Structure 1
Amino acid sequence: MLKKCFHLKNAAFNQLSLKGANFYGYSLQHVYLATCDPDDVHFKQMSLKGVNISTCTFDQLHIDMESLNGCSVSAEQAIGFAKLIGLTVKK
């Protein structure tokens, strides 16, 4: 069983660069990343439930689809995630 080595709850970060960070197995709850840069971040095998990334800009995230359950994203991000699971999005 994976032991979580870091737990962050009820926090907000503004204009923070997270580029290339690795959150593998971490626990984040009710975290708001306001206009942060999580490009190339690893969010695998962790829950983003209650985490808001809707104002973040990124080209690539390393993430499991299960990790996105309960995460707040923008409409544009939702379309990108839908494409990752094989949906064809039409306007």
Structure 2
Amino acid sequence: MGFEGVIFNKVDFKGITLNLLELIDVRFENCDLSNANFIGGIIHRAEFIDCKLMGLNLNDATLQNVYINNCNAQFVQMNYIRMKNVILSDCIFENSNSQHSKFDKVEFRKCNFKLSQMSGTSLSGIDLSNSDFEGVGVGLEDIRGAIVSPMQAVGFSKLFGLVIKT
């Protein structure tokens, strides 16, 4: 199943299952996709603006040339996802999972990833400095090469076994 060249405005997709969905040139505005299942979906040249994405399941999906802005994506599942040319801006991804995923040219702009799990996902070369990664679950190899703020560096230093003395 797929959609191409469609604008969804104020549509309620809560709990819908559309596994292996293909979305091309699609825009979601003020939509509710809470607890929807788009497992294995292909999302290409799409926008999610002012949407509720709580609990959305995107496991095994591919996102390319996607813009997600001002969305509540708490508890979103993005394990084994592939993202290329994706911008996440002013979103809440608290308690989300994006483990064992591949990020290529992904931008985080003022997003909240508190208490999220990202183990097995390389953040190398990605600027995390203006987003909140407090309590995020990552391994040493995952964070190596990421761009972080001084405060984030202190938090992530625990992965290196450093003890910071003040």
Do they superpose with TM above 0.5?
yes
Q: What is the rounded CA distance, in whole Å, between the counterparts of 1:87 and 1:63 in structure 2?
A: 16
Give 1:26 deviation, angstroms: 0.8
Query: TM-score scaled to structure 2, two decimals?
Result: 0.48
Work out the percentage of aligned pairs sharing the same amino acid: 26
Does the alignment pair 1:61 with 2:162? no
Does the 8 A contact of 1:34 with 1:55 survive in 2? yes
TM-score (norm 1): 0.83
**8 Å contact 2:80–2:98 — kept in the other structure?**
no
Larger radius of gyration: 2
Could you say what the CA RMSD is over the residues aligned between the two structures, in angstroms? 2.0
Note the C-alpha offset of 1:83.
3.3
Q: Which runs of 4+ in 1 moved over 2 A?
A: 83-86, 88-91
SS of equivalent residue, structure 1 residue 29: strand
Q: Which amino acid is 2:129 matched to?
A: S
Deviation at 1:90, TM superposition (A): 4.4
CA contact 1:29–1:48 (8 Å) conserved in 2: no
Helix, strand or coil: the match of 2:153? helix
Q: What are the residue-to-residue correspondences of 1:1-91 with 2, within 5 Å? A: 5-90=80-165
Normalized per residue, which structure has more helix? 1
Once the two structures are TM-superposed, the CA of residue 77 in structure 1 deviates from its matched residue by 0.4
What are the ranges of 5 or more consecutive residues in structure 2 without an aligned counterpart? 1-59, 61-78
SS at match of 2:84: strand
Structure scoring higher RCO (CA < 8 A, sep ≥ 6) equals 1
